[in-house]
Chain A
Amino acid sequence: MRRFILIAVPYLWLVALFLVPFLIVLKISLSDIALSIPPYTPQLDWTAGWAGFKDFLGQLDFENFTFLTQDPLYWRAYVSSLQIALISTVLTLLVGYPIAYAMAQAPDEWRPTLLLLVILPFWTSFLIRVYSWIGILSNEGFLNQFLLWTGVISTPLTILNTNTAVYIGIVYTYLPFMILPIYSALEKMDGSLLEAAEDLGCSRLSAFWLVTIPLSKAGIIAGCFLVFIPALGEFVIPSLLGGSDTLMIGKVLWEEFFSNRDWPVASAVAVILLLILVVPIVLFQRNEQKQREMDQ
């Protein structure tokens, strides 16, 4: 009985905070737009009883999903989001791995400080940090002023409101999520493994490829998912740093909800986004589980 209660708590949590909201969104996505409050129809009429419920079910349809396949804007937004999320994940990995590696190599007494420095940005609001990038990247921003002053460029670079700014924003924001799992994998590694690899005929570089990389694989996978999953649905960064041609599904979703006030189509967009995300999330869970089994 006690065991049942223990298991029930997380399940209740999931049902209340994930399944129920999801079902509500799913239901809206199957409805039609209407000029009412809330702005969709049908509404379930509890007073009509069983007949009312049947009538309600009869009015639900997949019209919105069909619509999504017809308008190229949507699937292009999905593809472009996947592309941006994928490229940013790779960039974050390329920036994050050396940082995590350097942290794991640092003397013991330095590690807590370095770890703190990685986490420190979280102490400021995410929105403020993204806004400050506008100040850095704009045509009159710090970066351009600095480059003009040093004489590297003669005319300001246009970075803000391009995809480049979005990549910079995503890499900057999600870097800690990449560094921390890789660092924790590298930190656990026994230094004598590299010596053993060298002793058995590896050069430094091949020892890195054959030992360090495989042993930090779980950290790399975890970090990539932790960046990819939120980056795919990212809304704030593309809308603040991106330009008019930056097409991301998070932005489309926002506009559908708040500018267009088409809740059913917006919900359909959200449901598809979730279905896309289920795949990497399941893969992520499997990776975590495998890692736990390895550690035992």
Chain B
Amino acid sequence: MAQTVFAPWDDPQAKPLIQFKNVTKRFGDFTAIENLTQDIYEREFFSLLGPSGCGKTTLMRMLAGFENVTEGQILIAGQDMAHVPPNKRAVNMMFQSYALFPHLSVWENIAFGLKREGKPKDEIAARVEEMLRLTRLVKFAKRKPHQISGGQRQRVALARSLAKAPKLLLLDEPLGALDKKLRQDTQFELMDIQEKTGTTFVIVTHDQEEAMTVSSRVAVMDEGRIIQVATPAQIYEAPNSVYVADFIGDVNIINGVATKAEDGYLITWAEGQAPFMAKTPNLFADGQTCHLAIRPEKVAISAERPADAVNAVEGQIIDIAYLGNISTYHVKLVNGQMIKAQAANTRRLSRRTFTWEDRVWLSWTDTAAVMLER
């Protein structure tokens, strides 16, 4: 059976559900969002990822209608949202604090939005039951929010925001208050629910692992701008800047000067050392400074120089971080640069090949590293 890949952003025919058009948001002198243009498509699970204060929450609050746009336009399903108050938008939000009404039971919390629509009683009851089943909360319907656990509260908040079947669901750090184990379980639950309901999810998070796990696309933000938007795999394998490479996962950055070679570039990184070889679709001028980003797991470590290696460099092990399944070796090169190399611990610890102070060779292929301009 042929699987069609979900990628409406590559389809020029697809109509986006949300369009940001040159959106700027200022709070007094402070610019929270600067001239941002971005499309989000139906059924997407779109993550806004960035450090705190990067504008991701502001962006979400503008979608919900709690903040006005200073300049530019936000369109949802083609409609300009400029003067539409939050209660008139087909958008619901799940708050970071969950914002469950403490005086209402779980059932009443979920029914709250439906009652405002003035739907008939039995219709509301049926919808609430459906939501309770979806989030596995049937047993807790009569409890008050303070009588259930954190994970259950999170599910009530989700059920409440989904009850009105919004076109768009906004999730503000939805799993922030949960512990790690519960968070991982809930991530898959969220994806499952998103798939079942077919709702478009926009999620704000500062946890890159969470963003990678759940998203169809991730937008990495910094200081009010989106730096890169791509699928989790692209973001990881082909970051467009040192900022993105550094924000997502672990990375080694080597600064150098590029020179064009036959089918790639030579990067001079230290005096008296052989240049590194890298292939890239991007164009670099001769003599242009560049940054080589290499993921630690793509760096091989060996006692002797591998005969067929394109890039190989000698160094000394300064530190070893043992993580159980893998170890990260911190290796110091001749010019003082530290390079992290990861190796799977396929043998027992006592039979480890390398130890502190050992001189080793690091090597990687010409496609392993990403050449970045900035």
Interface residue A71 (Cβ < 8 Å from any Cβ of B): no
Q: Which residues of B contact A198 (CB under 8 A)?
A: 66, 85-87
Q: What separation, in Å, do the CA atoms of A211 and B113 have in the docked complex? A: 13
Q: Which residues of A contact B146 (CB under 8 A)?
A: 294, 296
Q: Which residues of A contact B113 (CB under 8 A)?
A: 200-201
How near does chain B come to A221, taking the closest CB pair, in angstroms? Answer: 13
Q: Which residues of A contact B64 (CB under 8 A)?
A: 195, 199
**CB-nearest residue of chain A to B95:** A192
Interchain CB contact under 8 A, A195 and B112? no
Q: What separation, in Å, do the CA atoms of A22 and B101 have in the docked complex? A: 44
Interface residue A73 (Cβ < 8 Å from any Cβ of B): no
Q: 1/0 per residue B81-114: CB within 8 Å of A?
A: 0000111000111011101011100000000110
Q: Which residues of A contact B112 (CB under 8 A)?
A: 197, 200, 210
Q: What separation, in Å, do the CA atoms of A182 and B282 have in the docked complex? A: 64
Q: What separation, in Å, do the CA atoms of A217 and B102 have in the docked complex? A: 12
Interchain CB contact under 8 A, B160 and A294? no
Interface residue A108 (Cβ < 8 Å from any Cβ of B): no
Q: Which residues of B contact A199 (CB under 8 A)?
A: 64-65, 86-87, 91-93, 161
The dominant DSSP class at the A interface is helix
Interchain CB contact under 8 A, A201 and B103? no
Interface residue A289 (Cβ < 8 Å from any Cβ of B): no
Q: What separation, in Å, do the CA atoms of A202 and B118 have in the docked complex? A: 11
Q: Which residues of B contact A211 (CB under 8 A)?
A: 101
How near does chain A come to B316, taking the closest CB pair, in angstroms? Answer: 53
Interface residue A196 (Cβ < 8 Å from any Cβ of B): yes
Interface residue B116 (Cβ < 8 Å from any Cβ of A): yes
Interface residue A206 (Cβ < 8 Å from any Cβ of B): yes
Q: What separation, in Å, do the CA atoms of A198 and B97 have in the docked complex? A: 16
Within 8 Å by CB of A200, from B97, B102, B103, B164, lies: B164
Interface residue B117 (Cβ < 8 Å from any Cβ of A): yes
How near does chain B come to A65, taking the closest CB pair, in angstroms? Answer: 44
Q: What separation, in Å, do the CA atoms of A192 and B99 have in the docked complex? A: 6
**CB-nearest residue of chain B to A200:** B113
Within 8 Å by CB of A215, from B87, B97, B102, B164, lies: B102
How near does chain A come to B64, taking the closest CB pair, in angstroms? Answer: 6
Interface residue A155 (Cβ < 8 Å from any Cβ of B): no
Interchain CB contact under 8 A, A201 and B102? no
Within 8 Å by CB of A195, from B66, B101, B103, B161, lies: B66
Interchain CB contact under 8 A, B95 and A200? no
Interchain CB contact under 8 A, A196 and B103? no
Interchain CB contact under 8 A, A206 and B99? no
Q: Which residues of A contact B93 (CB under 8 A)?
A: 195-196, 199
Interface residue A190 (Cβ < 8 Å from any Cβ of B): yes
Known: A200-B112, A201-B113. A214 touches B86 (CB 8 A): no
**CB-nearest residue of chain B to A188:** B102
Interchain CB contact under 8 A, B87 and A195? no
Interface residue A203 (Cβ < 8 Å from any Cβ of B): yes
Interchain CB contact under 8 A, B95 and A214? no
Interchain CB contact under 8 A, A201 and B116? yes
Interchain CB contact under 8 A, B95 and A196? yes
Q: What separation, in Å, do the CA atoms of A273 and B74 have in the docked complex? A: 66
**CB-nearest residue of chain A to B116:** A201
Q: Which residues of A contact B161 (CB under 8 A)?
A: 199
Interchain CB contact under 8 A, B95 and A201? no
How near does chain A come to B177, taking the closest CB pair, in angstroms? Answer: 13
Which residues of A (183-230) have their CB < 8 Å from a CB of B? 190, 192-193, 195-203, 206, 210-211, 214-215, 217
**CB-nearest residue of chain A to B97:** A192
Interchain CB contact under 8 A, B85 and A200? no
Q: Which residues of B contact A202 (CB under 8 A)?
A: 87, 116
Q: Which residues of A contact B91 (CB under 8 A)?
A: 199
Interchain CB contact under 8 A, B101 and A203? no
Q: Which residues of B contact A296 (CB under 8 A)?
A: 146
Interchain CB contact under 8 A, A214 and B103? yes
Interchain CB contact under 8 A, A195 and B86? yes
Q: Which residues of A contact B164 (CB under 8 A)?
A: 200-201
How near does chain B come to A133, taking the closest CB pair, in angstroms? Answer: 39
Q: What separation, in Å, do the CA atoms of A133 and B142 have in the docked complex? A: 52
Within 8 Å by CB of B160, from A190, A200, A214, lies: A200
Residues of A within 8 A of B (CB): 190, 192-193, 195-203, 206, 210-211, 214-215, 217, 294, 296
Q: List 16 A-B contacts (CB under 8 A).
A: A192-B95, A195-B64, A195-B93, A196-B93, A196-B95, A199-B91, A199-B93, A199-B161, A200-B112, A200-B160, A201-B113, A201-B117, A210-B112, A214-B103, A215-B102, A217-B103
Closest 7 CB pairs of A and B: A200-B113, A201-B116, A196-B99, A192-B99, A198-B86, A214-B103, A201-B87
